[in-house]
Amino acid sequence: MYYYYYYYYYYYYYYYDPRRTNDLTSPLSRYRTGTPSADFMVVYASNAPEQFDWAVNDRIDEMVPFELPERQQRVDLLKSHLTAQLLGNDGATPITVDIWGENGEDVHGLIEEAADATKGFSGRQIAKLAVACQAAAYGQTDATLDADTFRETLASHVEQAAVKESWEAEAMREYSAKSS
């Protein structure tokens, strides 16, 4: 789950570090003295808000959760990002896209397949998948993205996401061991 804290500055700190707590609380201490103000807003954003020190959490007034995209949202994101990366090439070598029909219909069912495979992906991860599809197409001698190349790229990104998730799990275990 992604949390976005509405305030003015954007900070992303994944692991608790006392030095970082001071960095996070300084802007609030300088400007926010407990009196409401419409003059500024500080925004903290984190994938791991539980890692913030209590001194930081105590100064957060509003928390707004942003969930990961649901299946239909992933379909829409895939279509949008793939169209932008594959067809909006701004004067570069045109890419031949053999994964959908002329009217954008999912003739091979690849977008639906990708939406299922990318469960748990963020919008940013889906955008990076589309960029990787563009790179894969340009890696072909005729700049074509066909079904096999799309599936290989998708499988690679799903595998990479699993590796990154294992790194995150390991980091959380290390953090828990340090804080115990």
Per-residue pLDDT of the chain (180 residues; tens, 9 = 90+): 434 443 333 333 334 445 555 665 565 555 555 566 666 677 777 767 777 777 777 877 788 887 899 999 999 999 999 988 888 766 677 888 887 766 666 767 899 999 999 999 999 999 999 999 999 999 998 899 988 999 999 999 999 999 988 887 787 788 777 776
> CA-based angle 101:105:111, to the nearest 5?
105
Residues 6+ apart with CB under 8 A from 66: 1, 2, 3, 4
